[in-house]
Chain A
Amino acid sequence: DQQVKQNSPSLSVQEGRISILNCDYTNSMFDYFLWYKKYPAEGPTFLISISSIKDKNEDGRFTVFLNKSAKHLSLHIVPSQPGDSAVYFCAAWGGGADGLTFGKGTHLIIQP
């Protein structure tokens, strides 16, 4: 059963507007969450993370929100730029030796 779910395979947003990518998880042992960005023909690159002791982490145009009670996190990109068009993976870590558990990804398309 999928422990990290990204229910939107794709999302289209106008340039300059806010992009909101959502992620849900089921495993209450997860205590560290990350977002990765992936361009075609490249490896995923780390974008931003949040520990379970926080509910918000901000880095420039990117903000991640964590709602532990709902087991939900979201990535906000403001303002959205053409270079933000990519696949975004949500990932979670529960302290195990096997690293991160990934969602299936959301393809973000920024339209001019």
Chain B
Amino acid sequence: NAGVTQTPKFQVLKTGQSMTLQCAQDMNHNSMYWYRQDPGMGLRLIYYSASEGTTDKGEVPNGYNVSRLNKREFSLRLESAAPSQTSVYFCASSEVEGGNTIYFGEGSWLTVV
């Protein structure tokens, strides 16, 4: 019972490099999200996709792009990584469009040097 799966688990990037975080869910959920977690800041929404074919900015979208490839997959891309993007990234999904109970992946630890 995989739930929400995200890759890679750990990544070190140099400033200016690009990378894509992959996320897939097998629960047939409509909505998917990308959050970042920083010390003392809680979970902040980067982008979300309320349903297949739509994406919208969250609280902290600058420096990121997303793609809702299909109902299962939602990727997060850093075009030119900056040290301020060092964080833990969580993908999540929910059955109901826009909420209400969301389920998280295991997290991706990203360090930008």
Contact = CB atoms under 8 A, between A and B. Distances in A.
Contacts, number: 67
Contacts of B102: 46, 99-100
Interface string A70-109: 0000000000000000000100010111111011110000
Using C-beta atoms within 8 Å of the partner chain, give the interface range for chain B. 20 to 34
A45 interface: yes
B104 interface: yes
19 contacts: A34-B101, A41-B107, A42-B107, A43-B104, A43-B105, A43-B107, A44-B90, A89-B42, A93-B100, A95-B98, A98-B45, A98-B56, A99-B31, A99-B33, A99-B99, A100-B102, A102-B42, A102-B44, A104-B40
Interface of A: 9, 32, 34, 36, 41-46, 49, 89, 93, 95-100, 102-105
Interface of B: 4, 31, 33, 35, 40-45, 48, 50, 56, 58, 90, 92, 94, 97-107
